[in-house]
């Protein structure tokens, strides 16, 4: 009756999940970070699509090109690059406003935190679907 789900998700499901998670994260960041504002639902959707595609296509290249900087800064450069992605998104999507670098940095940290929470909830849901209540199921 119910289909058993596995850990691996196809690329389309992954992209849709990432867009939804970024949409929620942008909404939370817009409500909590001073100097960072979001517009209507269409601008939230647009911003989440832009940020998702920046993370899918640009971030892997930037991580490889700046690996020595990442190691030297103990990962702090990764946070700075995330703020840069948020700032680029605010330039592309006109209704997303980051009034400087610090609001973009705060929004990047908030977006990362919200994504981390949503990823944890999704992982727990997948483990429950795979029949493991204590987290020892197959991924």
Rounded Cα distance, 16 and 32, in Å: 24
| Domain residue ranges in the chain | 11-129
Per-residue pLDDT for the chain (139 aa), expressed as one digit of tens each? 334 434 456 888 889 999 999 999 999 999 999 999 998 999 999 999 999 999 999 999 999 999 999 999 998 999 999 999 999 999 999 999 999 999 999 999 999 999 999 999 988 887 787 765 555 545 4
Question: Model's pTM, two decimal places?
Answer: 0.82
Which one, of 61, 21, 11, lies nearest residue 44 by Cα? 21
For 70-85, how does the pLDDT look when each residue is reduced to its tens digit (9 = 90+)?
999 998 999 999 999 9
95: left (phi over 0), alpha (psi -120 to 50) or beta: alpha
């Amino acid at each position: 009756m119910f289909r058993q789900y596995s850990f691996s998700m196809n690329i389309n499901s992954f992209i849709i999940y990432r867009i939804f998670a970024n949409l929620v994260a942008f909404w939370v960041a817009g409500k909590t970070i001073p100097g960072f504002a979001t517009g209507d639902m269409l601008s939230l959707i647009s911003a989440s699509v832009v940020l998702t595609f920046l993370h899918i296509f640009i971030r892997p290249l930037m991580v490889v090109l700046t690996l020595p900087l990442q190691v030297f800064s103990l990962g702090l450069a990764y946070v700075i690059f995330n703020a840069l992605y948020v700032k680029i998104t605010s330039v592309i999507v006109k209704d997303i406003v980051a009034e400087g670098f610090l609001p973009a940095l705060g929004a990047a940290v908030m977006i990362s935190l919200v994504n981390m929470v949503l990823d944890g909830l999704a992982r727990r849901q997948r483990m429950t679907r795979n029949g493991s209540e204590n987290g020892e199921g197959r991924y």
